A and B are shown apart, each in its own frame.
Chain A
Amino acid sequence: MDTAIAHAHQPPASFLRRYVFSIDHKVIAKQYLTLSLAMALIGGFTAYLIRWQLAWPETDIPGWGPIGPDNYDALITMHGTVMIFFVAMPFLLGGFGNFLIPLMIGADDMAFPRLNMTSFWMLFTASSLIVASMFVPGGPAAAGWTSYAPLSDNPIYTGVTWGQNLWILAVALEFASFLMGGINFLVTALNLRAPGMTLWRMPLMVWMELTAAVVFLLSVGPLVAGALMLLMDRTLGTGFFRPDRGGDPLLWEHLFWFFGHPEVYVVALPGFGIMLEVLPVFSRKPVFGYRMMVWSTLAAGLLSFLVWAHHMFVSGMDPRLATPFSVTTILISVPFAVLVFAMIATVWGGSIQFTSAMWFALGGLATFMIGGVTGIFLGSATTDIFLHGTYFVVAHFHYTLFPVTFFGGFAGVYYWYPKMFGRMMNEVLGKIHFLFTFIFFNAIFIPLFITGLRGNPRRLYEMSNYDFLKPMQSLHVIATIATIGLLLGQLPFVANFVLSMFFGKKAQDNPWHANTLEWATSSPPPFGNFAEPPTVYRDPYEYSVPGASQDWIAQTAPEPFITTVAAD
């Protein structure tokens, strides 16, 4: 854990050390971003295949051909695994966490730069494994992203042999990678803060990444053990999850969801963090109730460990467990209600600038609310009896994870792109991108809510076996067309992202007139981040302070009402 190199303020000379095996958190962050966007292509393409099959069963899918029921199971498994473990986490934690935490707290790098590099390359290996698993004999894992045993446990049930083993290895490696990454986040934010950067002056993004890191590293352990058990069941003939050998399938469900639910917040909190950085800047208004939000975040993080069994209400677990877990689950809506209300209050009374970043932040907030309220139906054990395992669940978790991952993530890209690459993105393309994303996303999942409420089970290869699903087919067609629209709607983003790197307008150090420390250095920041270590004098969100000479006061501004010229 030798940080000496990182502090020697000299970028390494060789190309390899500078761009490939770099220990500079900014380069590593860009590596994470690139990896996650590349994996998002796979995730998106699987979504396209799945949706096409559901709308027009067993037809030739343009660009692929027909898919069989076994391919379909593999596709949904890969879609879930890739999107959550290899897109959302690298995007929000690996990418933005790595880039922002040191910059926002005024550090020159992570606490353990080499560990940071190792984390990324472990994730890279894990991604390669999951991709490789799609091409092994027997096909990729096909037991769903939750890999419920015994379906995942015994090859005879799926015909999948190495695909599932590689899935386990890839996911385990991914866990190890983010475990080290999370430790790095924690130590960095607790130990490397610039003079004057007290905990209560940290931008909310840092708080969110911290909470996510703690929640992750405390929840993942049992599933690591579970993954090892599953692997031994498949390779050494043990029977941890096989009833015929004295094991118990429900054990896997418990171990999985003990991690699986906190994992949702591991992804959600950084997404909120991004929105909470973007909203005040473009409302020119302080975040509403900073400490209140920090406490709600910590409360949500803590509660996230007490709710996992709500994924198992009808799983056959002891029914007496249901009510306690309903209570905790529905209670968790309180801290999130505080966060959402406070976000609205942050915009309220502001002077709103509708930049692409702001559109995505607002759109994310608006759509996340749908995910939030529909969660209550599933959190109540009683209504979950009917809704569990239907498209209602599918729509619900897409309405929670998509807003934080993509609306939040895109908001972050449009907002921090100037800082990352030193150039501005094109606002017109950005707004077109938002319009497509917002409209088509809702057009996919609102129909799916309806089919879910009619009792449409998820993970069906095709539905012609069910008479009561026949009227639902048109809704599936709408969802599929919208999916294609959503995917095509990302082209403006891709073009914008690539072209702006070369033709974008040169970015000022602080183009948005924001207060937080990352804007107090050049765009892009030099190796070592700050010419001289910054000193922090004030809170991160002092916008439109009455009597101030301008509507923003950087955290580095020493005297009241006088802003540094460090920016511009």
Chain B
Amino acid sequence: MLKTNKKGHLILETEATVPYELASGPSWHRFFEGFKEEKIYGVKCPKCKRVLVPARSFCSLCFEDTDEWVQVADEGEVKGWSLTNYHFFGMPTEPPFITALIRLDGADTDMDHLIGGFDLTDLDLVTKTLQMGARVKAVWKKEKKGCIMDIKHFKPV
């Protein structure tokens, strides 16, 4: 549809939706099956011995297959966070929300997720609560779909 924008220029507005369907493969499948049982799995690289979370079929550094599945804790330490307080396309939940990197106990990599379960409108409270090394634990949803959002968020302990 033709429109005139605020600069007075003629614009053609269109939209379309393009469908994709991606194969999960065995690693994502097993990782998210674990979520249904409230378990978080990593894999151990046979060479560098790092426990990689989320679980995956190979170690990118050593370029070796990983076949040892290891359950890691659903709690750990906050490595970094950011507080979002504006709306944007593709956001995981209504703002304000906190996305964070969390080093789960037993893992050698950080996991991305949300931190919540307390008042996020007070920035001072947030910075006090989430100081370096703050501990958080997963809050699981009751209804699970076998996806990353089966964890509602991580909550400070």
Q: Indicate whether A and B interact.
A: no
Binding site for A on B (CB under 8 A): none
